[in-house]
Amino acid sequence: MSLLTHRPFAILRVLSTLALLLAPCVSAHGQSTAPPVAATNVPCPPEVQKDRSVHTTIQAKVTGTLEASHLKPGKQIFVKVVYGMVYPYCTLDADSIIYGHVMASTSSKGGSGGSELSVLFDHGECTGHGKRELPLHLIGLIGPMDDSSRRLHDEMPDAKLTGSTRDVSITAADLTDASDENLNPTGPPHTIHPGIVVRMPSVTLEPQGGPACSARISSPSKNIQLGVGSELILTMSDPG
């Protein structure tokens, strides 16, 4: 047989191979779906898992309810800085905005499947520079205060604070009036243990447990809700 005789079969084999490769991108209902994202195998920053002085972290407040059942992957979210922080590469004023987006979200109507909300904060309003990309990591959650407790920022001392801004170079030894032992029950005072959750029963935080090293918040309840008055504790890596 000539090459012309074999060509139709060769073309058919190529088309069959393409059909198999494209098949996962079509759902059972015939609707096109996005192919899965390939794993990058890039390790998460190891320093995120280390205890640190609470005075070098960013406290941010939730101004609108963040609810797993109403947030889809890709949705942009934002929180407001409580106390300004001065980093060598970015100054975050009080009430400046920190931006993030939802990486994963699940909830269950029956309440038996649990719920999850994975978020990644990656931009902030740096004074004099506008919105810029920042290496932020969510490492702690504090629920709204009740009559028997005080918010973490209400316990911060006024000493060595200029206005409402703290310098990241100020150490815990310089600030001895804060009472934040509850943020690291098994560690030194004035430190925070990554993954700490306060006043949110049954909620678990994995600082790098979500997609692309995002923070994974999970609960056995049917829905996760971070209401107004909740606070997020974030840290910022050295951008190199």
Task: Provide the number of structural domains found in the chain.
Answer: 1
Give 45-62 pLDDT, tens digit per residue: 999 999 999 989 999 999
The closest alpha carbon to 152, from 48, 234, 34, belongs to: 234
Query: Is 214 a member of any domain?
Result: yes
Write down the number of H helices and E strands in the chain.
1, 17
How much of the chain, in percent, has pLDDT values that exceed 90?
55
Domain containing 206: what range?
46-236
Determine the Cα–Cα distance for residues 55 and 28; give it in Å rounded to an integer.
52
pLDDT value, residue 239: 65
What does the pLDDT average to over 121-150? 87
Q: What is the pLDDT of residues 199-210, one digit of tens each?
A: 999 999 999 999
Query: Does the residue 22 lie in any domain?
Result: no
Given a cut of 80, whether residue 164 has pLDDT beyond it is no
Between CA 144 and CA 101 the distance in angstroms is 22
101 belongs to a structural domain: yes
Ordered DSSP codes for 37-73: PPP--PPPPGGGGS-EEGGGSEEEE-SS-EEGGG--T
Is 11 among the domain residues?
Answer: no
Cross-strand partners of 79:
98
Look at residue 220 and tell me whether its pLDDT is greater than 50: yes
The C-alpha atoms of residue 59 and residue 61 are separated, in whole angstroms, by 7
Query: Does residue 20 fall inside a structural domain?
Result: no
With a CB cutoff of 8 Å and minimum separation 6, the contacts of 209 are 118, 215, 216
Structural domain includes residue 65: yes
Average pLDDT, the chain: 76
Q: What is the mean pLDDT of residues 65-87?
A: 94
Angle at 130 between CA 97 and CA 91, to 5 degrees: 70
- Whether residue 171 lies inside any domain: the answer is yes
DSSP for 136-150 reads EEEEEEEPPP-TT--
Q: What distance in Å separates the CA atoms of residue 83 and residue 180, rounded to the nearest whole number?
A: 16
Put simply, whether the predicted model's pTM sits higher than 0.85 gets the answer no
- pLDDT for 38-48, tens place per residue? 345 678 999 99
> Is 1 within the bounds of a domain?
no
- Of 37, 82, 96, 28, which Cα lies nearest the Cα of 214? 37
Contacts of 192 (CB under 8 A, 6+ apart): 51, 52, 53, 54, 57, 139, 140, 180, 183, 184, 233
Mean pLDDT for 212-223 is 95
